Amino acid sequence: MKTAEGRKSLESGSYLVFLALVTLAFIAVIWPFVMPILWATLAAIMFQPLYRWFCEKMGGRNRAAIATLLLITIAVIIPAIFIGGVVVEQATALVLAFREGRIDVAGWFTTVQEALPQFVRDNLDLEGLGTAELVQQRAQELARESSGLIAREALAITGSALGFVLAFGVGLYVAYFLLRDGREIGTRLLAHIPVAGDIAERLAERFLSIVRATVKGSIVVGLVQGALGAATYWIAGVPSVVLLGLLTALFSLLPAIGPAIVWAPVAIYLLAVGDIWQGVLVIVSGVAVIGMADNVLRPILVGRDTGIPDWMILISTLGGIAAMGLAGIVIGPMVAGLFLAGWSILYLERNPQLAQASSVETA
């Protein structure tokens, strides 16, 4: 009786208001480090099997967590920083070349235009891109806007080097404890969620499967396609291969035709300027290698873990990027998956006969 009365007093309106205010204050305090915490959480989820393997081999949780962090740093973080530096360097050089007129867009356009069918030329005229001078002007305007964006991003990174180091350290520190104590922390969180226990467990299981499938399906497949694209562009003698490879990886987030947005224009230009075998190589690689990588790898890595339609993945990914930057690549589909999971659980709870039929079919 006393326990029930104590619980009732704790759950009274005033205490819940106090709890909500304290929670909001805590979120406001840690908000500057929310992105490092997010990436640390994703890393702990993805590398949990590796951590357990180290636990079996090394016989200690602390040593296993440290070994996992070292491997993540060497295999993921250091290469990402190096590739990011190369991309910024190549993008800056390309933008400056456009801005200063050292890249003859007009000459390239004239060569490509002469190789195009007449109906394509007519459509370019209607779009205001029918002359080389207009294309040159549009390209330089885009270059000026892009150069300003790159300059602002570079200034933000170099101007807050201490903040970057601090955020990086916080991310590694949090990842260490999430790797070591992630299961216990997850169990406690589920116990405190004001939802029925079985529903909370189903949501948690769905959350973990969506995170793993999103990371493997979006990031891993994208990196593979980007690497294959960069190798193709390098063999074909195209400049700025790292930048083009990154663009191929980013556009691979778009279902079906994503990477073709990058390699198709490259192939068209190569064919138009007379580099026939290079253009054919890019087309063959784009269709048979880069494109097929998604069809081969995604079913193996992802399977049916997400259950999210392609159109929703596209919208949630683009919306996530627009709202949160690169983190939106993971957060967008993850929110979409939880949205579908939450509503499907509610539907099954309201229609228990369907839930029973589904469990029988699964068995």
pLDDT tens-digit map of 135-154: 556 655 655 555 555 555 55
End-to-end CA distance of the chain: 42
Task: Dig out the tokens for 64 from the structure.
Answer: 């296993």
By C-alpha distance, which of 191, 225, 186, 238 is closest to 207? 186
> Six-digit token pair at 192?
């405190």
- For residues 195 and 58, the answer to whether their CB atoms sit within 8 Å is no
CB 348 within 8 A of CB 59: no
Contact present, 358 and 202 (Cβ < 8 Å): no
- The torsion angles phi and psi of 109, rounded to 5 degrees, stand at -65, -40
3-state secondary structure of 238: coil
- Is 104 strand, coil or helix? coil
Rounded Cα–Cα distance for residues 68 and 58 (Å): 11
Distance of CA 199 to the CA centre of its chain: 28
Q: Where are the extended beta strands (E) located within the chain?
A: none
Give the DSSP H/E element, type plus range, for residue 125.
Answer: helix 118-126
Q: DSSP state, 327? A: G
Dist CA 254 CA 266 (whole Å): 18
In this prediction, residue 11 carries a pLDDT of: 55
225-278 residue pLDDT tens: 888 988 999 998 888 788 888 888 888 877 667 788 888 888 877 877 777 888
Average pLDDT, stretch 312-332?
77
Residue-wise pLDDT for 38-66, tens only, equals 888 888 888 888 888 888 888 788 888 88
